[in-house]
Structure 1
């Protein structure tokens, strides 16, 4: 056999019987600028400062020296912007906000006012006498 008669093997493929290449697909994320990380750190620092300031005020209102999750919850829910930001979040061991339905308070207020005010003559006339 001649050197010229040798059959050259080409690159592998389906027709030549070589190794099969698998298609590779990669997902690339969008690039982030160098200033974005600094800006994000500033925002997180500002939010942490706000939450700690309001929580410290809530702790001081309750005459405590240490901030507990209850104080964080009270501070976040009291502030309008933080409450909107953390509306769907649950703070562990925070409890619930004290809330009494006004409908429940109205009956007690009426009874308290009736006890304070003496009965007017028109109300006294409408009152039925007690049966013995």
Structure 2
């Protein structure tokens, strides 16, 4: 296990955020075709993720504030590499339940393209919670 993969160092702009169902391989874009966000891997071993859905409205009501929370992923922590995975020890997150956890992601690096995959797990966004995963595609900035 290595501590870092220096090829990840830098800022990566999110190009797409898909969910994929394991059985059918069907992919959808639950946050729209042009989500906003970045993954940043620092040379000091810290990474940060900030992702928002394509269409969001200002949060001037409780309902809109909840919608903003549900269309955001943001966390940071120190990361390490283990084979084809990076594992982040989360020390700050948009979701308090993630603080102190380890978030494991699989990745494939091809030049200026970074693909990031979550593990296969029940998808809470789909009725019946079929097994699925998130797939992020990023380009180096």
- TM-score band, normalised by the shorter chain? under 0.3
After TM superposition, the score normalised by the length of structure 1 is 0.20
User: Which structure carries more relative contact order (alpha carbon 8 Å, separation 6+)?
Assistant: 2
Q: As a proportion of its length, which structure holds more strand? A: 2
After TM superposition, the score normalised by the length of structure 2 is 0.19
